[in-house]
Structure 1
């Protein structure tokens, strides 16, 4: 038994150095950047679809109350602003090539990371408040024909959905995206270090 403990102790002290070539790491980084670009593009497309849906409701349905128009306007403006911010961030990583301008790409990636942090913290609350305000104005006319139980269910489900997205979903997405971008920056800095060490 003592021999087993010694072998286990020796095994735990043993460090394995994994060597990954700069080319392999560069391919991994390119793949991860491609994934981030794709996800960002999907977010932008989703926001544009939401904007079109809101504008379609506004154009094709007849509303009598001015509050509904104000609510739809606030919601459309909030979605448009958020979409423009997402597009600005997408351009940071989409317009720079990793191999042509490594330092420019790395700076863009770090700026992207800071922008995403700001988006999920400060700007997210602007977006949530604007959407909530838009829904409040929209619900004044739309829910007027509902019974009290139907109004309570509609308002309660909307509130719970916003609360769920603002807490659990936002935190999980923030954490996962931060880890992914941190790892990407670390890999890219190591690649740059290997390139400069070889020169």
Structure 2
């Protein structure tokens, strides 16, 4: 059999190409958007409630030491700054709607990924540093009233909890969020590539 006359290009073009289901992909994107907006709202409620509680404690118990007051201010400042930056994601999610082209979906998702990376690295680091420092300063006044053992124990438990959040929960959460977003981006890249070919 002579293989020199076979037109591989024609055969290739005759193959049925399985197109990704755009509707299914949009549904996944809408579910992703919905879940993240819920998390944003929950985080807002949680952090605002915490700020109100911290202010109430400050007002109710009237700490005497300047370190305690500075600690409270640092904690409130850390949460407020984090919320302000974190809430900028609302605009990113609002830009994603059913009327967009796949290219626009892709752009919206890559913009969101950039914002999330900034929040997960720079802002979260600043948040943890300020929060840890604030809690450490806040505890100082009250640990002075304790015996040495209980003061070390209080700081040890606090440091352990902060470390657990920093070294275990934070990386796990970041990895999970990035994986979901990366999966959506890669699917929209594939669709966009197929549509442009």
TM-score by length of 1: 0.80
Q: 1:145 to 1:92 in 2, by over 3 A?
A: same
Looking at structure 2, the residues matched to 63 and 155 of structure 1 have their Cα atoms a distance apart, in angstroms, of: 18
Unmatched segments (≥5 aa) in structure 2:
1-16
Query: RMSD over aligned Cα, in angstroms?
Result: 2.2
Cross-structure match for 2:151? 151
Q: Distance in 1 between matches of 2:134 and 2:73?
A: 7
Shift of 1:195: 6.2
- Mark the runs of 5 or more structure 1 residues left unpaired by the alignment: 1-16
- 1:136-175 to structure 2, matched below 5 A, reads 136-175=136-175
The one-character-per-residue Cα deviations of 1:37-65 (angstroms, maximum 9, x if unpaired) are: 22222222222222122122122221111
Q: 1:50 to 1:118 in 2, by over 3 A?
A: same
Q: d(CA) in 2 for partners of 1:19 and 1:106?
A: 17
Alpha-carbon spacing, 1:39–1:139, altered in 2? closer, same or farther (3 Å): same
Q: Give a deviation string over 1:101-139, Cα, whole Å, max 9, x none.
A: 344443232122122222222222211111121122211
2:96–2:108 contact (8 Å) kept in structure 1: no
- 1:39 is the counterpart of 2:54: no
Q: Does 1:97 align with 2:99?
A: no
Q: Distance in 2 between matches of 1:138 and 1:33?
A: 38
- Alpha-carbon spacing, 1:150–1:18, altered in 2? closer, same or farther (3 Å): farther
Q: CA deviation at 1:100?
A: 2.4
SS at match of 2:63: coil
The separation in 1 between residues aligned to 2:25 and 2:125, in whole angstroms, is 37
Displaced runs of 4 or more, over 3 A: 17-20, 101-106, 188-197
Mark the CA change 1:182 to 1:83 in structure 2 (over 3 Å): closer, same or farther. Answer: same
Establish whether residue 134 from structure 1 lines up as the match of residue 113 from structure 2: no
How far did residue 20 of structure 1 move? 4.5
How far apart are the structure 1 equivalents of 2:165 and 2:42?
Answer: 18
